Amino acid sequence: MPDLEVDAEARVVQPFSYRGSSATIVFGNGARRQIGDQLDALGCRRALVLSTPAQKQDAERLVAELRDRVTGTFAGAAMHTPVDVTEAAIEIVETSNADCVIALGGGSTTGLGKAIAYRTDLPQICVPTTYAGSEVTPILGQTEAGLKTTLRDDRVLPEVVIYDPELTIGLPVAMSVTSGLNAMAHAVEALYAEDRNPISSLMAIEGLRAFKTALPAVVADSGNIEARSDALYGAWLCGTVLGAVGMALHHKLCHSLGGSFNTPHAETHAILLPHTAGYNAAASHEPLKSVAELFGDSAGRALFDFAASLGAPTSLRVLGLTEASLDAAAEIAVSNPYDNPRPFDQKSIRDLLQHAWAGQRPEH
Ligand code: NAD
């Protein structure tokens, strides 16, 4: 493939293609108070507020604030967007005659909003409370009968995203860290994506910079609103590049482990990121040079040290994955071909998984 980067020395922009998102982004402390205006702008008068069971009270508070603009709540969102949950939510959409959905929560709630929009074409306002980044991607992963499938469709991209850092203050520190590392993985893979472009690379680097500052500050003081704001800004940037360019080995490996061994989403990303980055950095330093420059060592080693310094889990073993399952995991991970800057086979993936399972610091 051609080198798509701007050549810093010669300032020559290489050919690229770029498609921006049509979503409206509203960012800032207290931004949730603009949901009503955004409903009006969409021409919606009967919103259904979605949440997980854990965030039901937050959803009800929002209903009270929005008064006659909402029809009620559906607080059944669950990890990996189970189709039966979506069907139950659509029943409520129909009986309440809702004309849009408001997804208040992390990637699980965002996923439910997207799944409803995919089937009904209803507009969505998304109010993210984690750093997963799903709210700005046209990607939807769903599970049915234990099988996870992923689709990409413009219908699932939320029309409006309201980023209010004050809503993330309650996200526990451990979840903040793994969620932030999950977002950083989108940016790292965007840097070496085959279809990367100057805008996606700028956003990816800025997203990584934001998290590099924000996550240690959140660990030191979970109520630090400036750090929460920086982290949510990073989430927007990293999520945007996830939606804009293709992902590679890292996301495919996480998908395989989550789908076949039910490992938790954000933690799996957090643990594997240094290993996948290190694996790719060993073959091609150029696209990941900015990670090394930002974090002060080669990409894999630096990301490992960063995650460890934040108290993130660093071994797949702690997620309950057995060593005996690594052979099958490697086999599943190579069963479908996909782009990656460095070629791989079952043995190289098995070795990578072994290191990640044992929690070893990557070489590169
Ligand atoms: P999550 O949405 O499952 O949230 C985890 C738990 O934290 C939930 O109980 C939730 O209610 C709670 N929570 C969320 N925000 C909180 C807050 N501010 N305070 C207190 N509790 C809070 O976790 P996640 O990691 O954000 O999302 C994971 C899901 O998102 C997975 O299903 C993953 O596949 C999906 N995802 C999709 C995309 C995409 O582009 N399609 C991108 C990233 C993640």
Q: DSSP of 11-54, one letter per residue? A: TEEPP--------EEEESTTGGGGHHHHHHHHT---EEEE--GG
Give 120-177 pLDDT, tens digit per residue.
Answer: 999 999 999 999 999 999 999 999 987 788 999 999 999 999 999 999 999 999 999 9
Q: What is the 3-state secondary structure (H, E, C) of 191-250?
A: HCCCCCCHHHHHHHHHHHHHHHHHHHHHHHCCCCHHHHHHHHHHHHHHHHHHHHCCCCHH
Global confidence as pTM: 0.96
Q: Read off the tokens for 205.
A: 């680097």
Lowest mean pLDDT: which of 29-43, 159-173, 264-278, 327-341?
Answer: 327-341
195-249 per-position pLDDT tens digit: 999 999 999 999 999 999 999 999 999 999 999 999 999 999 999 999 999 999 9
Confidence at 2, pLDDT banded by 50, 70, 90:
very low
Residue 259: which pLDDT band, with cuts at 50, 70 and 90?
confident
Position 145 scores a pLDDT of 84
Q: How far is the CA of 270 from the centre of ligand 1 (A)?
A: 14
CA of 158 to the centre of ligand 1 (A): 16
Inter-helix orientation angle 265-283/346-358, to 10°: 120
Confidence grade of residue 62 (pLDDT, cut at 50, 70, 90): very high
Beta 47-50 vs 100-105: how paired, if at all? parallel
Q: Residue 49 region, left (φ>0) first, then alpha (ψ -120 to 50), else beta?
A: beta
Report the distance separating Cα 206 and Cα 188, nearest Å: 11
Pocket lined around ligand 1, Cβ cut-off 6 Å: 52, 54-55, 79-80, 105-109, 111, 129-130, 132-134, 137, 139-141, 167-168, 170-171, 175, 179, 242, 265-266
pLDDT value at residue 326: 96
Site to substitute for ligand 1 among 52, 80, 108, 256, most atoms within 8 A of C-beta: 108
Rounded to an integer, what distance in angstroms lies between the CA atom of residue 323 and that of residue 18?
42
Residue 163 CA to ligand 1 center (angstroms) comes to 15
pLDDT on residue 9: 53
Nearest residue (CA) to ligand 1, atom 17: 171
107 C-alpha vs ligand 1 centroid, how far in Å?
4
Give the mean model confidence (pLDDT) for residues 352-361: 98
Site to substitute for ligand 1 among 58, 79, 156, 157, most atoms within 8 A of C-beta: 79
